[in-house]
Structure 1
Amino acid sequence: MTLNWPPIAPAPGTPSCGPPSFEPERGWWVTRHADVRAALTDPAFQVPAVDTGPPGTLAWLRATVSRFSPPLRHADRRAVAVRALAPLDPDDLRLEAVRLTVAVLHRAEHRVDVMRELARPVPLRTLAGRLGFADPVAAGTAVAVVAAAYHPGVDPALTARADRAVTALLALAPQGSPEVRANLIGLLVQACDATAGLIGAAAHHLLPPGGAPTTARTADLLAEVLRLDPPVRATRRVTVDEVRLGGQDLPVGSPVLLRFDAANRDPQVFSEPATFRPGRPGAGLLTFGAGERGCPGDRHALALATGVLDVLRERCRRDPDPLRHEPHPTLRVPTTLEVSVR
C-alpha cells in the first residue's frame, strides 16, 4: 500500500523565498533556490575564516579540515576526503548499518531511543571502521564530543572536552600526515550531526504512530525528508568581492546566510513544494551544497541512513510524543525519539 503523505510544515524560523534581504544585526539572508545555488558556486562567496590553535586541538582541527579552508588550501584538503571515500561501496555501508541496527533492536526489550542508540552510533561506527580507525566504537564516541563543539562560539567547557577528543581521534586514525588525519576526522565530524539529524527526521516523518506501511523506496523517502526537513538548514559565507545577487548589490565583507530550508521549498523549482512526493523528478536538492564545496560524501551518508531506516520501517513504530530539537542556529537534530520494537 502506498500512502498519501501529509505535508511537512516548515520548521519554526524557516523564511519564505524572496530576494536577498539585509538586516544590520544578521547580515544578508539568501532564500531563493537560484540565488543560493549561485552563491554556492560563485568564488566571490567564501567560507568565513576560522582561527587556528595548537596542533591536536579543536581550533587546529577546524583550521585544517577542507570545510573551513581558504581557496588556496581547499582543493588539496578536499582531495584527502575524496580519496578516502572513493573505495567505500555505499551498498556495503548500507548493509553494515542494517547489521548494526538489527543488533541494537535485538538487544532492546521493547523500546529504543533512535537518536541515542542508532542515529549517531551506527553511521559513525560504520564509517570509522571503513576509514581505518583503530577502534570504531571509541572513535564514534569521541567524534560526537568534537561535533558538539565544532562550530565557533560554544561553551569553553565543551571546547576543553573536544580538545581531548581530538587528541584521542588522532591516536586512533590511520597512519598519515597530521593534515591527512585531520581531514579523515573531519569526514566523521561532518557525518555526525547531519546524518543523525536526517535519520531522526526520517524516523519522525516515516514511522507513523500506527505503523502504517508503504511500498515507496527508503531512498526516495529520504530525498523528500532532506528537502522538506533538512538536518543542515543553512550555511555561512562572506563576500570577498563586490557582487550582485538576486537583484541586490552586496559589498565586500558582507556576511551571508544561505538558507537551504527555504530554497528547498522554492515554488519556482518545486511544484507543490509543501507536498511530500517520493520520487519527485528533477530533484534540485541543495541540502548537500553545490559546487566545489559540495558534500563529497552525500552517497555514503544516504546509504548509511537508508540502512538504519530500512530496519526501522520494518520493525518499529514511533511513539506519538512531541519532537524536540537541539538548540543550534543552522542544524536541526532531534534530542530524543523513542520507537517501539515490534
Structure 2
Amino acid sequence: MTDTWPDIAPAAGTPACGPPSFAPERGWWVTRHADVRAALTDPTFQVPVVAGGPPGTLAWLRASVSRFSSPSRHAERRSIVVTALHALDPDDLRQEAARLTGAVLDRAGGRLDVMRELARSVPLRVLAGRLGLADPVAAGTAVAVVAAAYHPGVDVAHLRRADRAVATLLAVVPPAAPEVRANVIGLLVQACDATAGLIGAAAHHLLPRPGGDPSGAARTPELLAEVLRLDPPVRATRRVTASAVRLGGRELPADSQVLLRFDAANRDPGVFAEPAAFRPGRAGAGLLTFGAGERGCPGDRHALALATGVLDVLRDRCRRTPAPLCHEPHPTLAVAKTLEVSVR
C-alpha cells in the first residue's frame, strides 16, 4: 500500500495561530511559530523561578535542576545533563527499548495497555540502566511518582510521596556531588511523561485498527517527527518577562506570565503547508516541540531513539483496539491514560 494518512485534528483546547493575546485569568498566550521561536531564544523571557527546600526533597530537586535554574546557574547545570547524555548511544537505547518491548509483548497474551506496560516503564528502565542507577526498575517506579508531582498545584499527599521517591532515587543514583545527582534524576523525570506521551500519541495515530492495513513502509523516526508536530506530548511551556518587551506586534510588560503554545505554533499555516495533513519527512519542518535556544531539550535524539525502539516493535506486532482515547489532566502535557492494543 502507499503511505496515506488522515489529517490529525488539533486537540481540544488548542488555540488558532494569531498575535500574542492577553486575558487577566491566564496571562499572555503566544501561538504563532515565529513568535514562539523568538520568545524561546530571547533572554528577556525567563523560566519562572521555583522555591527550594531541604536537601533530598522534591523542592530541593526542582531548585537544583537545569530546567528551573536562573540564567546565572543554567549553563553549568545543563552541562551536567549534556555530559551524561553524551555517554549514551542513541542506537543502543533504541535497540534495548525494542528488546524490552518485545519481552513485554511475549508475556502479554492477547491484549496489552501500552501506557501502563510500556510507555513509561520501558524508556525509564533503559535510561536508568544506561545512566548507572543501581536498580533501574525501582528507579523507574520512583521517577513516575516524582514526575506526577513535578509541576505546581499538587496536593500535600502527592508532595510527601514525591519526597519519599526522591529519597529512593538518591539511594540508587551513582555517587557524585549533590547537584550532579539532582540533574541525573531531573533528566529521568523530564523523560518520563514526555516520552510516554509521545509513545501513546504515536501508537494512537500509527497503529492500524482491526481489519485495517498495516501502517505502511515509512520509517518510524519520520512518523514520530510528524506526531511531535501535530499531537505533541508537551503542549506548551511557561516564561516570565524580565523586562518590558515587544513580541509579535504586542507590548508585554515586565513580569508578564507567558505561555508559549507549541501545539498551535506547530500548526501555523504560515510555516506548514496544509498544517493538519500528516506528512512524514516534511523538509525543513521547523518543529518547536523540543524547544529552541539555550534551553532547548538536550535529549531530543535520545527520546526519539527510545520511542522508536518501542514503536518499531508495536508497529510490527500490534493493532489498536477501538476504545476512545482519554488524557491525564495536566495544564501543559498530553499523556494518554490508557491505550489498549491486541498483540500478534
TM-score normalised per structure 2: 0.99
Indicate the residue corresponding to 1:297 in structure 2: 299
Indicate the residue corresponding to 2:261 in structure 1: 259
CA distance in 1, matches of 2:281, 2:254: 41
1:58 maps to 2:58 = yes
1:77 maps to 2:77 = yes
Indicate the residue corresponding to 2:276 in structure 1: 274
For residues 21-78 of structure 1, what are the alpha-carbon distances to aligned partners after superposition, in whole Å with 9 as ceiling and x for unaligned? 0001100000000000000000000000111110000011000000000000000000
Question: Which secondary structure state, in structure 2, belongs to the residue aligned with residue 305 of structure 1?
Answer: helix
Question: Which secondary structure state, in structure 2, belongs to the residue aligned with residue 339 of structure 1?
Answer: strand
Deviation at 1:208, TM superposition (A): 2.2
> Which amino acid is 1:5 matched to?
W
Indicate the residue corresponding to 1:150 in structure 2: 150
Query: Contact 1:221–1:278 (CA<8 Å) still a contact in 2?
Result: yes
> Which amino acid is 1:298 matched to?
D
Deviation at 1:155, TM superposition (A): 1.5
Question: Which secondary structure state, in structure 2, belongs to the residue aligned with residue 188 of structure 1?
Answer: helix
Deviation at 1:153, TM superposition (A): 1.4
Indicate the residue corresponding to 1:90 in structure 2: 90
- The answer for unaligned runs of 5 or more in structure 2 is none
Query: Contact 1:37–1:286 (CA<8 Å) still a contact in 2?
Result: yes
For residues 131-182 of structure 1, what are the alpha-carbon distances to aligned partners after superposition, in whole Å with 9 as ceiling and x for unaligned? 1101000000000000000001111111100000001101110110110000
Query: Contact 1:2–1:216 (CA<8 Å) still a contact in 2?
Result: no
Indicate the residue corresponding to 1:120 in structure 2: 120
Deviation at 1:2, TM superposition (A): 2.5
> Which amino acid is 1:292 matched to?
E
> Which amino acid is 1:205 matched to?
H
CA distance in 2, matches of 1:231, 1:131: 24
Question: Which secondary structure state, in structure 2, belongs to the residue aligned with residue 49 of structure 1?
Answer: coil
Query: Contact 1:234–1:261 (CA<8 Å) still a contact in 2?
Result: yes
Deviation at 1:116, TM superposition (A): 0.4
Indicate the residue corresponding to 1:287 in structure 2: 289
Q: Map of 1:202-241 to 2, 5 A cutoff?
A: 202-210=202-210, 211-213=212-214, 214-241=216-243
Deviation at 1:283, TM superposition (A): 1.7
Q: Map of 1:6-45 to 2, 5 A cutoff?
A: 6-45=6-45
> Which amino acid is 1:104 matched to?
V
Deviation at 1:87, TM superposition (A): 1.5
CA RMSD after TM alignment: 0.6
Higher mean C-alpha deviation, range 88-97 or range 150-159: 150-159
Question: Which secondary structure state, in structure 2, belongs to the residue aligned with residue 258 of structure 1?
Answer: strand
Task: Figure out how many residues of one structure are paired with residues of the other and give that number.
Answer: 342
CA distance in 2, matches of 1:289, 1:156: 31
Indicate the residue corresponding to 1:249 in structure 2: 251
Deviation at 1:3, TM superposition (A): 2.6
Question: Which secondary structure state, in structure 2, belongs to the residue aligned with residue 277 of structure 1?
Answer: coil
CA distance in 2, matches of 1:142, 1:212: 39
> Which amino acid is 1:269 matched to?
V
Taking only the aligned residue pairs, the percentage that are identical comes to 80
Query: After the TM superposition, which segments of 4 or more aligned residues of structure 1 sit over 3 Å from their partners?
Result: none
> Which amino acid is 2:185 matched to?
I
- The answer for unaligned runs of 5 or more in structure 1 is none
> Which amino acid is 2:284 matched to?
G
